[in-house]
Chain A
Amino acid sequence: MTVAALPAVALGELLRSMADDEFVIGFSDSEWTGIAPLLEEDVAMSSLAQDELGHAAALYGLLGKLVAANPDALAYDRQPGEYRHCRLLDHGRGDWAMTIARRYLYDSADAVRLEALAGGTWEPLADLVGKLIREERYHRMHAGAWLERLARDGGEARARLLLALRELQHDAATVFTPLPEEAALVGAGILAMPMAELERRWRATIGPVFAELDLPMPPATRQIERGRLDHGEAFRWLWGEFTAVRRSEPGATW
């Protein structure tokens, strides 16, 4: 597809939402560095977090070319209200159960979204998505292994997991917030199907897992159209953290 024929507005929204998702979950998870439950898990979670920041960098890179902007500026120079990550990632780091619940919900949803982009007609994105899928497979295995362990524990671990899922339930499906002008993406063959259809696929994917582990399925999202807006206090705090160095010396070369 030629650049001129691209549905640029919708594509920009898609890239920004994906990049912000990866960026925010990467930063949230990096908060475990040094304090994870065991040394090996510390290394694993830190490495996963780095992977996500790498994915964000690649996606900001694509977006930067599309809108002629510097990827660093896209990542760091916006106000909190201008980020478009989904509300699922707006709950603060929380405890380990919260982190695993969020990771599982996000990774399983992200996988469905990536599958819907893998065969897309815009080659730069389809190529990148092919690579992301290979890396995210491990992330899903890791989150799934932990979800199962916490759920089957039956003690405090399961109780905390249930609490976390309850806190996240109304935002669980916000990865699939309809994008502005997303019909143009589907029409251009960049996105295989609308977000609402992807959410149905996601529910069909995680349904058997939740049933097997006797976990409550997340209900339908209230006001799904605002699923990437209205970021709260937890995100403002995180934004303050991840922009602190950048803001300390605007325009500096690192």
Chain B
Amino acid sequence: MNARPGQERDPGLQPERTRLAWRRTTLASTVAAVLAVKSALHGDVSAAGIIACALSCALWLVFLLIAHGRIRALASSDSPLALAPRHATAAVLCTVALAACGAALVL
């Protein structure tokens, strides 16, 4: 572990693995958003259903932007900075809001 930052190849490929973890998570959020849209547009389409559908799409888009920003930050340097708590919180709030959408649809 005598790595000098930015000069040596990282044998564990940590930034790449983290990038792929963000991709997987984006994929999971896509699946959840698709299920949300299907749930919202199931049967009789109401105004509430359309609002929930639009909200789910917007939340998915926000999540995508967070992930994309982080992936670019990871790619930009050999020893990237740690994730900012702001971004972690934003990603979690998207997830929570999607669940709230789901609760509103179920009830």
| B is a partner of A | no
A-side residues, CB < 8 A to B, are none
